[in-house]
Amino acid sequence: MNVNQEGLSPVHGQIDNQTAQGGRLPGRISPDETGTPVAGAKLKLDSTNKGPIPYFLLAAASDVGIGFLPLSINTASPVAGSFVEAIGVFGPCMWLTANAEVTPGASVEMTTGAKVQATSSGKQVGIALTYAAATGLCLVMLTAPMGAAS
């Protein structure tokens, strides 16, 4: 927590150790999910979500997934809106300021002023886990230097 903060909101450059160390990304089953999620299902990020936490959709075989739905004692198959976690191998995560709108699941590149935007002509440095409007904060899973060869 930043000593100048007045609340429990993230600040630019703050590290999110919970996701990387625990291998768990908390979120919700998207309200747009029409299938029946079950334990072991591959999940992807809902790119239309503009909320502060990730929303998950069931991923098809051809989709890039973000993680898997673990078995839960709460319910065998969570419904839309249920709080869940995606289990995966997550790199370090950091809150970064967006230069332009960033959607969940988008690969991001750095711009001037240490801001991120959807990758266009630069090198990928991470994957956005949450939505950010221009000048807003988003949680980014850092992939650099692995993304440097992209």
pLDDT tens sequence across 75-95: 778 889 899 999 998 889 999
Q: Quick one: 30 and 79 in the same domain?
A: yes
pLDDT score of 6: 62
Alpha helices of the chain — where are they, by DSSP H?
17-22
Q: How confident is the model at residue 146 (pLDDT cuts 50, 70, 90)?
A: low
Residue 114 buriedness (CB in 10 A; 0-12 / 13-18 / 19+): exposed
d(CA 136, CA 77): 34
Same domain? For 81 and 104 the reply is: no
* Domain-ending residue, one of 87, 114, 129: 87
CATH number, domain of 35, equals: 2.40.340
For residue range 50-67, what is the model confidence (pLDDT) as tens digits? 988 899 999 999 998 999
User: Residue 53 domain-assigned?
Assistant: yes
pTM: 0.83
Nearest to residue 23, comparing CAs of 95, 105, 88?
A: 88
Range of the domain at 58: 24-87
99 and 64 share one domain: no
68 and 35 share one domain: yes
Distance of alpha carbon 24 from its chain centroid, rounded? 11
- Give me the pLDDT at residue 59, please: 95
Q: How confident is the model at residue 149 (pLDDT cuts 50, 70, 90)?
A: low
CA pseudo-torsion sign 73, 77, 79, 82: positive
